[in-house]
Structure 1
């Protein structure tokens, strides 16, 4: 397995770092689970509430190899790679699968030992988002959702008669095994748009919002932001709206607006993710 920590490559024989992992590699299995629980008062037993994943702690241990000068350089370079507040950790498994998670530094120990050509390290990383994302070319997903329209005739009738086809909700497939919060981009003219995940029964409505040709509305379901041409329009979000996710598997997504002349379409973007490698 090859690991790249903010661009610093570990366990790659083709890398100039000469830095290799030792066993075990901790933290790439199931993330910790947070559970609300308590005991019943005045009777046996207790209750378990909703369960959520906690932050992921990843621990990498190994050795630098090389001349004394090369060891010093390798140690400095690894320390420099993990000074940012948040950085990507890319993983390529022995099977060739590619993943990425986003981490911050917890600790880095690089004790000096007697050996002239070998030096150990232990790197602990915290991933606030416990999801391990598919980093392959097929992992980044994007689907266009057309507004739902009713079919039939348009009144008043004019010859030749045109029976318009209706449009159905769009099926969006989340190929991972965890729920993922997408980003949704709506462009051009729209009036009071509502985008619904009919699979979960949740919807997101912007009431009183109208846009013009060329406008771009971006909804980030994970970070809970709504930007119109770069400016926040959160006050338009109705109190009954939900910041909804995509469930694993197929999701039925529906887009509606309040005017038949609206030209908007929505693009859902997300990266599939997994509980563990």
Structure 2
């Protein structure tokens, strides 16, 4: 299902359009700035002051003060509340750990950005519903407080392309070599146009075995020494906060990476960087696909 088109001052709440030029007027929204901080400062024994520990962001709480305005139509007001409740109470989100719904926001001069949220409050006040007016308080919690681009970015990298370095045995024809004088023209380069680390979803399609994926700039790698993929089968490595899973194409759990591999650190920093991967593949038909959303500190 394609995403709703948003104009300035509009919101997409799980597929329901609210905000400017709709029947649900948004009066005020809070929680769009810096998310709450989980501090870990420690008192210094026998000394004044504190030792400054690391600060971590907590979940982002979004409060929306809105009002349904459909003059003279109480039934339509009730229908709108029911529509919002159906969108925010979906059991495949509410009852499944780690799942959330999309909250998309469009502000003047800014592209559409999104959060993955759970609904914590949807409270209509029906005192004036007979006049077609229903104040509405909504509250959402984004467990990952980072803002993300509305559109996904995708790049695919076959094993046969070389972006640098040399050959690794066994070398099997056909081998395709590109000089790669321009980084953007070479497969394996990923660009995060945002200001925060982006978290990729990596899909490896066989046939291949003994896979290692490396983010060149950071040197971080994900090694799967026991992975053995038949032709047409694939596994997906989801590095996103709240997910961080390795699954087969049928949804089952696939073999995880080696103990030295850190899925929770395998991010794409702002700017352009390179991904490489190695594996054993006698057919030169295996593929690696990287999907991510640009990530932003601010809306």
TM-score (norm 1): 0.82
Gaps of 5+ in 1: 156-161
State the partner residue of 1:99. 113
State the partner residue of 2:83. 77
Alignment check: 8 A CA contact 1:182 1:270 kept: yes
Change in 2 beyond 3 A, CA 1:71/1:195: same
Per the alignment, in what secondary structure is the counterpart of residue 145 of structure 2? coil
| Count of residues paired in the alignment | 262
Write the mapping of 1:7-86 to structure 2, written as runs, cut at 5 A.
7-13=15-21, 15=22, 18-23=23-28, 25-65=29-69, 66-67=71-72, 68-84=74-90, 85=94, 86=100
Alignment check: 8 A CA contact 2:199 2:293 kept: no
Alignment check: 8 A CA contact 2:226 2:255 kept: no
1:99-150 Cα deviation digits (max 9, x unpaired): 2222212112222335724221111111112122211xxx310112344755
Greater mean alpha carbon deviation, residues 64-73 or residues 111-120? 111-120
Whether 2:207 is the aligned partner of 1:203: answer no
State the partner residue of 1:124. 139
State the partner residue of 2:268. 246
Q: Partners of 2:50 and 2:216 in 1: how far apart?
A: 34
Change in 2 beyond 3 A, CA 1:169/1:47: farther
Bigger radius of gyration = 1
Change in 2 beyond 3 A, CA 1:171/1:63: same
Q: Partners of 2:120 and 2:177 in 1: how far apart?
A: 60
Change in 2 beyond 3 A, CA 1:188/1:29: same
TM-score (norm 2): 0.76
Gaps of 5+ in 2: 1-8, 95-99, 181-185
Per the alignment, in what secondary structure is the counterpart of residue 75 of structure 1? helix
State the partner residue of 1:109. 123
State the partner residue of 1:264. 286
Write the mapping of 1:127-142 to structure 2, written as runs, cut at 5 A.
127-135=142-150, 139-142=151-154
Whether 2:3 is the aligned partner of 1:2: answer no
Displacement, 1:87?
Answer: 2.3
Displacement, 1:33?
Answer: 2.5
State the partner residue of 2:4. none
